[in-house]
Structure 1
Amino acid sequence: MSPRPRSALSAVLIALSCLLVPVGTLGAWASYGLADTGRYVTAMAPLATDPDVRDAVAETVADGIMREVDVGGPVRGAVRPFVRDAVRSFTRTHAFRLAWDTGNRAAHDAVLRALRDGRAVREQPVTVDLAPVTAQVKRQLTHDHVPLAARIPVAHTAVTVLPAGELGRLRKGFRMLEVAGFWLPVAAVVLAATGILVAVHRRRAVAATALGTALGGALLVLVLTVGRRLTLADLPDDVSPPAAGAVYDALTETLRTASWLLLVCGLTVALTAWLTRYAGHLRAALRPGRRRASATPPPSLAPSPTPAPAPTRARA
């Protein structure tokens, strides 16, 4: 193949590889990060100590308890501060952290079952039971001698985490992500390697691939930033924006780290390829000068020829 078609084919392969880098990274994060229960629980575990998340949980649980307690008038207003303080104190205990991990694991398992097995829960929403948390709060209130604490019903409160109407659309998207999370990164690597091997100037091809990878990482960082703003701007009225922001940051921390790694590694490889190319040109420029200097001695050291004596003619 002549150099011009090889260069064109290499450019096309490298461009396709660079386009697949951000999409493949996003798919791998969704498939191997969000879809893995252990990684999900590990990512959400630090939120149990986040003040904004604890306040949001305390408000939600306290409102649920007060709706279940059959108390009216001024007594209800007097009991509500005790309930809220008790729930907030409970969120600072080790039992709450255990309940937080258990609740997140149960919610994630329920969502995965709904997305992977459509036959069992085709028309049913995905719910999580808050009865264990309510029972813990009731014991705490009873221990603190809060009035009417014994009347709090420990009912199986089902909190919907995934509506039934969205299961079909989300199930199709989840299956596509599982496939894309594996094959898109593999395709990106194969296309990049093929483009570099086909290229006439491989160092330039490596630099172009690295710059495209860095651009893909920068694009992912921008998408995460814009996505966070849009998510927080479209929240319901009963959802705390600081708590939602903390959850968003915890879920996307791995993707954000991968995006910055793509950006930094891509720029580093491109800079290294440029420096090695510049050093090669510099060495090539210096070699002919050295050969000429070694072949021709300096004028001061060259031996000067001595003129031969003119012949003398004898006189007659």
Structure 2
Amino acid sequence: MTGPPAATPGGPAGEEPPPRSPARYGAGRASGAAGRAARVTASAVLIVLTCVLVPVALLATWVHDIALDTDRYVSTVSPLAREPAIQDAAVHRITEAVGAKVNGPQAAADIGTWLQSHGLPPRAADAVKALGPQIDSAVEQAVTRAATRVVDSKAFETVWTTANRAAHQAVVHALTGEGRGAFEVKGGTVTLDIGTAVERVKKDLVDAGISPAAKIPDVNKQLVLFQSDQLAKARKGAHLLDVIGNWFPVLVVVLGTAGVLLARHRRRALARTALGAAFACLVVAIGLVVARHYYLDHLPPEVQSRAAAAAVFDTLLRFLKVSLRTAVVLGVVVALGAYLIGPGRLPVVVRGACDRTADSAAQWAAGYHITTGRAGTWTQAHRRSLTLVALLVVALVFTLWNHPTVLTVLLLVLVLLGVLAVLALLAASGRTTGPTPPPATGPPTGDGGGA
């Protein structure tokens, strides 16, 4: 006797399930393929944007933290007061300013005429009138010596620092508008008013016995530091970078993270993003070198000293160059780390050698009854999580570090390697001294044998 036919998943008892529609199956596959293609495309676009925007984010940070931060700006330009090229240019400009209205031949002619009117023989008066060039030379030497003393003294450093600090708002206007104060920007020319130093030199000349120096009239006392026709064009872009400077780096990190998470092979995507960003920063760094040579080779006549212009250019861009080098090194380090955790032959060999070395050290320590106890066992059980925590902590420290450098990156890498080495040793000790498995038991044996 047989029961009723069993029901099938496809329908009532005894009926075959309806066949799946080929159209619906094909539509499902097409939809899945389209979704994967969209993810891959979005990941590629985000990664490319990240690589391009990393150097832009560094530029935005430089504009915000250097050009718009008074203390950091002053600390950046203060060493220029001791720069030989700047000092030579200042001495030359002060000498020109002080001696601009000193006319040796005219002064000698006036003295000779006055002496002749008081009975000096004509030949002697002519000899006095011929001393004009010597008067010019003597005055110039005296002015140069006085200017050199002023520039070499602490007073010039104080004047330089005070003028830059008081006029820092003009540096902001150098990128966003017209300048004002001692540090002035008009069009594409950046100048510094050295009137205080000129007045100090005039006082020293009067104290040295050159009383006519007190009657030197006011003249142009501007020292041209920088001149570029592109400065005005860069103001709009610099203002935009200033506005988004606080959030732009965060946005770039978010874009890069999203691009890596959307990728099918995230480890490869991370390595490519890091190398792409490093390459972009390297291109910008090379561009700065080319721009420096181009600028110095096309200096306008308003710039009195090529060496001084080079010193100002290098000083103002020093931190940007350091940031670019740091980004390049960081990108290479991240890409190398992503490669070493992968399944490649070399990474597997390196990781295996490290584990074998840790195991050998743990076995040697166990031979001398040196163990880590439960700490080693716990580390072995949670090694992956502890490694991830160490990576996150190092990344957080780097993020919060104020203006990291290449040395910062190398230091953090060494710290991370040290932490990973300690974790490897603890895990190896846990494997060596872990709980001993119970002995295997065979089948029970009886006293009485066979059938």
TM-score interval, smaller chain:
0.7 to 0.9
Partner Cα distance (1:78, 1:257) in 2: 47
Stretch moving more, 154-163 or 67-76: 154-163
- 1:101 paired with 2:165, answer no
Q: Which residue of 1 aligns with 2:331?
A: 266
- 1:188 paired with 2:248, answer no
Partner Cα distance (1:92, 1:17) in 2: 48
Change (3 A) 1:262 1:180: same
Amino acid in structure 2 at the alignment position of 1:229: H
Q: Which residue of 2 aligns with 1:19?
A: 52
Partner Cα distance (1:161, 1:50) in 2: 13
Larger radius of gyration between Structure 1 and Structure 2: 2
RMSD: 3.2
Change (3 A) 1:244 1:223: same
- Count of residues in Structure 1 that have an aligned counterpart in Structure 2: 280
Contact 2:57 2:249 in 1 (8 A): yes
Change (3 A) 1:117 1:147: closer
- 1:276 paired with 2:341, answer yes
Q: Which residue of 1 aligns with 2:295?
A: 231
Contact 2:225 2:309 in 1 (8 A): no
Contact 1:24 1:180 in 2 (8 A): no
Deviation string, structure 1 residues 31-70 (Cα, Å, up to 9, x no partner): 3212323222211111111111100111011111111446
Amino acid in structure 2 at the alignment position of 1:52: A
Partner Cα distance (2:324, 2:36) in 1: 34
Q: Which residue of 1 aligns with 2:308?
A: 243
Partner Cα distance (2:102, 2:234) in 1: 37
Which of 134, 137, 142 is matched with 1:77 structurally? 137
Which of the two has greater helix per residue?
1
Stretch moving more, 138-147 or 238-247: 138-147
Deviation string, structure 1 residues 135-169 (Cα, Å, up to 9, x no partner): 21122223433463333346684668899x99975
Change (3 A) 1:70 1:166: farther
Partner Cα distance (1:44, 1:173) in 2: 23
Contact 1:7 1:199 in 2 (8 A): yes
Partner Cα distance (2:191, 2:281) in 1: 36
Change (3 A) 1:243 1:114: closer
SS at match of 2:245: helix
Stretch moving more, 146-155 or 268-277: 146-155
SS at match of 2:152: coil
Q: When the two structures are superposed, what TM-score results if normalisation uses the length of structure 1?
A: 0.77
Amino acid in structure 2 at the alignment position of 1:173: G
Deviation at 1:259, TM superposition (A): 0.5
- 1:62 paired with 2:126, answer no
Partner Cα distance (1:192, 1:114) in 2: 33
Contact 2:76 2:316 in 1 (8 A): yes
Q: Which residue of 2 aligns with 1:200?
A: 264
Partner Cα distance (2:226, 2:311) in 1: 20
Contact 2:97 2:220 in 1 (8 A): no
Paired-residue identity, %: 37
Q: Which segments of 5 or more consecutive residues in structure 2 lack a partner in the other structure? A: 1-31, 106-131, 353-451
Change (3 A) 1:174 1:12: closer
Contact 1:65 1:152 in 2 (8 A): yes
Partner Cα distance (2:297, 2:174) in 1: 28
Question: Relative CO higher for 1 or 2, CA cutoff 8 Å, sep ≥ 6?
Answer: 1
Change (3 A) 1:211 1:127: closer
Change (3 A) 1:158 1:252: closer
Q: Which segments of 5 or more consecutive residues in structure 1 lack a partner in the other structure? A: 287-316
Q: Which residue of 1 aligns with 2:214?
A: 150
Contact 1:135 1:154 in 2 (8 A): no
Contact 2:90 2:223 in 1 (8 A): no
Amino acid in structure 1 at the alignment position of 2:337: T
Change (3 A) 1:197 1:263: same
SS at match of 2:341: helix
Q: Which residue of 2 aligns with 1:299?
A: none
Partner Cα distance (1:232, 1:189) in 2: 36
Q: Which residue of 2 aligns with 1:212?
A: 276
Partner Cα distance (1:262, 1:114) in 2: 27
Deviation string, structure 1 residues 199-249 (Cα, Å, up to 9, x no partner): 121111110111012112211210111111011111124521111111111
Partner Cα distance (1:201, 1:130) in 2: 61
